[in-house]
């Protein structure tokens, strides 16, 4: 940790970073050694995430330690010790077992940040079933796609979400056997059930079945540029990465109070909102409410948060405050701030030092990587605007794609290329559900290639350049243009649609759609508003376009495919590049 930071926070002298010597730690690191940090299931029954995150702590002196504190948006506060989590997750596991659900069966959750979400996650993992979170702001179409593609057997949700987002297409989901409603007292019928009633009747003793480290545990959907959402498969062994990054990157100590602001509908909210802090036996804060500058600052103060993991979008919103938060709130307990979801600009890093009293550490990873891969560590200097350096156990060169299935490693510093990872780290996704060919295309020349363009300086720090594909990052969320285009095309007025990400000072990018109309329809503000409402109803507020522009002809190649890079270049006034494949207007 930089000396100047410690001088501003004298209490930090007593907390030596877990990672002191980066180079030596990387040189001597072995993933197999991480496995010795866990208990493993008794009698050689394998490795289970929920056992390591909850039960092993509940069975020790840490059992009465506060595991989660839930802050309701109306002011309610609920505390859960590790013993509480064990008991209540056992109840949910017994609910699943009573319904005939077992290993490999998918349990989806569509709720806000309420206690039932977290108990469902842990109980599902105990049962050997597969946990699949859905973002609560999704509209009906993204929900339908994910329930269908994920082979959902059980959905845990609210009555309102069910009626608005599931009931209209329930008959299209033959695999979905049960819907468990968290906010009703009685069952509606044999498949639409009250979770409260079932939990009250379930037993508190549960024996976790044999679970292989390679058993499927979590299914995370992520957007694609040319197809529907992809279900990234993660296994129980992923906790090797969650534990290591919690120790070395987030620098967890037993006394820490941790707050990850990410919604569990996204991978960060599971890997670091639930699993990683519980593996370390610390206290984590869960806030039900949406972002509010004053509320967040008060949480940091009143809950005495020591390690905070948030997003660049949230930081940019805080930057709009008139007063520096550290002058209005007691942030003396805060010792480490991390950010993830999109690149963190250098200005935000420096603002953190001035306004919060601490620099903000950026880090990089993806849904497919399952955990943090590149980070700014507490033990080293922060280079504002840099992603940082790879975690121990990760080999990450900069490469350039060559002919066929070959890549060339760029050895010289400051050369722009694609970030690559050597496959084999524990939290690496094991496939896209039911899409083996799509999975194979992620690898070339013995490397996993994720489409991020970067440069690496002479000291090994990585710097983000841009995306090699059309994925849109808006307010920390990944949006696939194909998904948005497909819904717009369902409107009777739309002949063609092309979607891009447009730079935005607050959200990073916003979703913009270009629409060509069918004969008989004319561009008009009334139609624009109608299309906006149509997309928002189907897709939800996060995914739907914020801007819609009518164009008589969209740029296409000679095969008839819309070329999004031309749309983006024209929107931003950038060079359009090679026009030889473009179809004449």
Q: How confident is the model at residue 3 (pLDDT cuts 50, 70, 90)?
A: very low
Residue 519 has pLDDT above 80, yes or no: yes
Mind listing the pLDDT tens digit for each residue in 349-393?
Answer: 889 999 999 999 999 999 999 999 999 999 999 999 899 999 999
pLDDT of residue 476: 76
pLDDT the model gives residue 6: 43
Q: What is the mean pLDDT of the chain?
A: 91
DSSP state of 492: T
pLDDT at 560 exceeding the cut of 90: no
Query: Residue 577: its pLDDT value, please?
Result: 56
Query: b/e per residue, 372-402, with b = 16+ CB within 10 A?
Result: bbbbbbbbbebbbbbbbbbbbbbebbbbebe
Q: How far apart are CA 314 and CA 296, in angstroms?
A: 10
pLDDT given at position 482: 78
Q: What is the mean pLDDT of residues 128-134?
A: 98
Pick the CATH number of 3-362 from 3.40.50.12780, 2.60.40.10, 3.40.50.720, 3.30.450.20: 3.40.50.12780
Taking CA atoms, 217 is separated from 68, 101, 140, 212, 299, in Å, by 22, 14, 25, 10, 32
Model confidence pLDDT, tens digit, residues 33-88:
999 999 999 989 999 999 999 999 999 988 899 999 999 999 999 999 999 999 99
φ, ψ for residue 277, nearest 5 deg = -65, -35
| pLDDT value for 225 | 63
Laid out side by side, the sheet with 389-390 consists of 77-81, 66-71, 283-287, 257-260, 307-310, 336-339, 360-364, 374-375, 389-390
List pLDDT tens digits, range 242-258. Answer: 999 999 999 999 999 99
pLDDT at 557: 65
Q: Is 220 exposed, middle or buried (0-12, 13-18, 19+ CB in 10 A)?
A: buried
Q: What is the three-class DSSP state of 196? A: helix
Name every residue whose Cβ is closer than 8 Å to that of residue 189 and which is 6 or more positions away in sequence.
none
pLDDT, tens digit, for every residue of 304-351? 999 999 998 889 889 888 889 999 999 999 999 999 987 888 888 889
Residues of the chain with CATH 3.40.50.12780: 3-362
Task: Considering the chain, tell me which residue range(s) the CATH 3.30.300.30 domain(s) occupy.
Answer: 472-572
Q: What are phi and psi of 444, to 5 degrees?
A: -155, 135
Residue 28 clears pLDDT 50, i.e. is over it: yes
Bridge-partner residues for 152, per DSSP? 106
Query: pLDDT tens across 502-512, in order?
Result: 989 888 899 99
Q: Would you state the pLDDT for residue 465?
A: 78
Going from the C-alpha of 60 to that of each of 54, 63, 83, 324, 349, the distances in angstroms are: 10, 6, 10, 42, 39
Per-residue pLDDT, 5? 46
Q: pLDDT tens digits for 214-230?
A: 999 999 998 766 678 89
pLDDT at residue 489, as a whole number:
84
CATH number 1.20.120.1200 given to 472-572? no
């Amino acid at each position: 940790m930089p000396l100047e930071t410690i001088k501003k926070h004298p209490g930090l002298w007593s907390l030596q970073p877990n990672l002191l010597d980066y180079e030596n730690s990387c040189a001597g690191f072995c993933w197999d050694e991480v496995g010795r940090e866990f208990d493993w299931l008794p009698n050689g029954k394998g490795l289970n995430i929920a056992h390591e995150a909850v039960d092993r702590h509940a069975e020790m002196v840490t059992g009465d330690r506060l595991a989660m504190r839930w802050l309701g948006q109306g002011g309610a506060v609920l505390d859960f010790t590790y013993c509480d989590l064990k008991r209540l997750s056992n109840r949910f596991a017994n609910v699943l077992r009573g319904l005939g659900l077992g290993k490999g069966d998918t349990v989806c959750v569509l709720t806000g940040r309420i206690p039932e979400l977290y108990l469902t996650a842990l109980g599902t993992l105990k049962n050997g079933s597969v946990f699949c979170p859905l973002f609560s702001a999704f509209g009906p179409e993204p929900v339908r796609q994910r329930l269908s593609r994920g082979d959902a057997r059980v959905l845990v949700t609210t009555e309102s979400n069910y009626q608005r987002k599931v009931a209209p297409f329930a008959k299209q989901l033959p695999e979905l056997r049960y819907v468990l409603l968290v906010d009703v007292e009685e069952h509606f019928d044999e498949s639409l059930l009250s979770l409260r009633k079932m939990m009250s009747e379930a037993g508190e003793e549960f024996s976790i079945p044999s679970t292989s480290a390679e058993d499927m545990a979590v299914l995370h959907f992520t957007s694609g540029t040319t197809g529907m959402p992809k279900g990234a498969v993660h296994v129980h062994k992923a906790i090797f990465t969650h534990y290591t990054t919690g120790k070395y990157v987030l620098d967890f100590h037993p006394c820490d109070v941790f707050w990850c602001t990410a919604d569990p509908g996204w991978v960060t909210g599971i890997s670091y909102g639930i699993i990683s802090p519980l593996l370390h036996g610390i206290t984590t804060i869960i806030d039900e409410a949406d972002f509010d500058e004053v509320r967040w600052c008060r949480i940091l103060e009143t809950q005495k948060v020591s390690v905070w993991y948030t997003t660049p979008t949230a930081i940019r919103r805080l930057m709009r405050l008139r007063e520096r938060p550290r002058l209005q709130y007691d942030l003396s307990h805060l010792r480490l701030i991390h950010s993830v979801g999109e690149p963190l600009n250098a200005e935000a890093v420096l603002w953190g030092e001035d306004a919060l009293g601490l620099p903000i550490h950026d880090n990089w990873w993806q849904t497919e990587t399952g955990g943090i891969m590149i980070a700014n560590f507490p033990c080293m200097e922060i280079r504002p605007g840099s992603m940082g350096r790879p975690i121990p156990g990760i080999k990450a060169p900069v490469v350039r794609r060559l002919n066929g299935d070959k890549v060339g490693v760029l050895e010289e510093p400051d050369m722009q290329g694609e970030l690559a990872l050597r496959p084999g780290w524990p939290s690496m996704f094991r496939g896209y559900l039911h899409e083996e060919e799509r999975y194979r295309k992620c690898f070339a020349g013995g490397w996993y290639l994720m489409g991020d363009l970067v440069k690496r300086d002479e000291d090994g720090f990585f710097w983000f350049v841009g995306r090699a594909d059309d994925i849109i990052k808006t307010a920390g969320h990944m949006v696939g243009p194909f998904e948005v285009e497909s819904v717009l095309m369902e409107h009777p007025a739309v002949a063609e649609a092309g979607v891009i990400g447009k730079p935005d000072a607050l959200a990073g990018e916003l979703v913009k759609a270009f629409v060509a109309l069918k004969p008989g329809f004319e561009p008009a503000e009334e139609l624009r508003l109608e299309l906006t409402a149509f997309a928002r109803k189907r897709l939800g507020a996060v995914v739907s376009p914020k801007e819609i522009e009518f164009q008589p002809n969209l740029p296409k190649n000679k095969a008839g495919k819309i070329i999004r890079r031309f749309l983006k270049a024209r929107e931003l006034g950038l060079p359009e590049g090679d026009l030889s494949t473009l179809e004449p207007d």
